[in-house]
Amino acid sequence: MTTSETARPVDQDVATLLTDGIVGNKGALPVALVDELRADVEAAYEEARSREGGAVGRGPERWYVEVHPEALRGFTDLVAHPWVQAVSEAVLGPDWTVVEVGFDIPFAGAKDQPWHRDFRAPDATVKERRLTSLAFNITLVDTEEDMGPFEIAPGTQYDDGAEFDHGMFPDRSLFPGYLEKAVRKYPQRGDISARSALTLHRGTANHSPKSRPVMVLGIDGPEANNAEHHDLAVTRGFYDALPEEVRRHLACPVVDELEPIVQKHDIEGLVMGEPDQA
């Protein structure tokens, strides 16, 4: 970790996150660490696809897999990262916990997703404009225009969403407004972003022959209950070897032996995807 990264102030980043629903930190991670993560993610994907319930579809040629923390060599580095720790504490308070470790992979042929948020907005966000959870995204490749970049509509994390289907999917009549706000993101290896999963977003169509894997680190504050959608666990040896600044943010079970995760967070409205559109 460089001195400048360790000392990076987060006040402006937090202000941007609270306003736009997303903020990035370019070059926060060593590229070598990201390449290790990609290798582990690709191995985990092959294992997950070999068994029932190991991967869940998020649209045509697009898959999501959740893994246990020790499946990824860089897990400790990510959770202990000064920026991740500082942003999490500034937004969620000191008692935040890791509830999700997973990855999303759109392959060649992935379609535009419908605009959506990842779960129903809590009253704290809609009525009080407070975020109760965060998602950190770590791109595992250098994103190019034809690879289906992530697209987000800044500021929509505070939209009510009471009329959204399942509280997550806005009516198609609202899509033009999101497209007017839409910003496409082109992160490179080493970049991290923090976002509210309530900010309206979508993956776009992948017209390239390449995949675009992205790791997701889900963080809850004390008011959130997203852990019920996930099944993280760690073994005793792994847990005991963690530094205190990581261990204190893990609230998952400590077990003798890990069981393969059967995916629970199935976002049904994403299974079909949208036809290609601008």
pLDDT at position 212 over 50: yes
Q: How far is CA 134 from the centre of its chain?
A: 8
pLDDT of residue 266: 53
pLDDT on residue 264: 67
State what percent of residues in the chain have pLDDT above 90: 87
Q: How many CB atoms lie within 10 A of CB 201?
A: 26
**pLDDT beyond 50 at 277:** no
The answer to whether 26 and 190 are in contact (CB under 8 A) is yes
Question: Which has the closest alpha carbon to 190: 14, 38, 33?
Answer: 33
CATH of the domain at 75: 2.60.120.620
Q: With respect to residue 23, please indicate whether it lies within any of the assigned structural domains.
A: yes
Quote the DSSP letter at residue 105: E
Can you give the pLDDT at residue 261? 93
In a domain, 173, yes or no: yes
At residue 276, does pLDDT exceed 70?
Answer: no
What pLDDT band is residue 227 in, cutting at 50, 70 and 90?
Answer: confident
Evaluated on CA atoms 65, 68, 70, 74, the torsion sign reads positive
pLDDT confidence of residue 230:
87
Report the percentage of the chain scoring pLDDT > 70: 92
Q: Does the structure show a pLDDT above 50 at 94? A: yes
**Residue 2 placed within a domain:** no
Closest CA to 206 of 141, 118, 137, 130: 141
Pick the more confident residue, 102 or 6.
102
**Tokens 């690879």 label which residue?**
147
Q: Does pLDDT of 79 surpass 70?
A: yes
Q: What is the structure's pLDDT at 9?
A: 86
107, HSE (Cβ side, Cα atoms, 13 Å): 8
How many other C-beta atoms can be found within 10 angstroms of the C-beta atom of residue 57? 17
pLDDT of residue 22: 98
Residue 14 has pLDDT above 70, yes or no: yes
Q: Evaluate whether residue 266 is within a structural domain.
A: no
The pLDDT confidence band at residue 2, using thresholds 50, 70 and 90, is very low
Q: Average the pLDDT over 183-206 and give the result.
A: 98
Identify whether 227 is part of a domain: yes
Domain for residue 178, yes or no? Answer: yes
Tell whether 74 is covered by a domain: yes
- Is 86 a domain residue? yes
Total domains in the fold of the chain: 1
Domain hosting 234: range is 10-254
Q: Quote the pLDDT of residue 274.
A: 55
| β-pair partners for 106 | 62
Closest CA to 210 of 56, 38, 26: 38
Return d(Cα 262, Cα 202) in angstroms, integer: 24
Mean pLDDT score, 125-138: 97
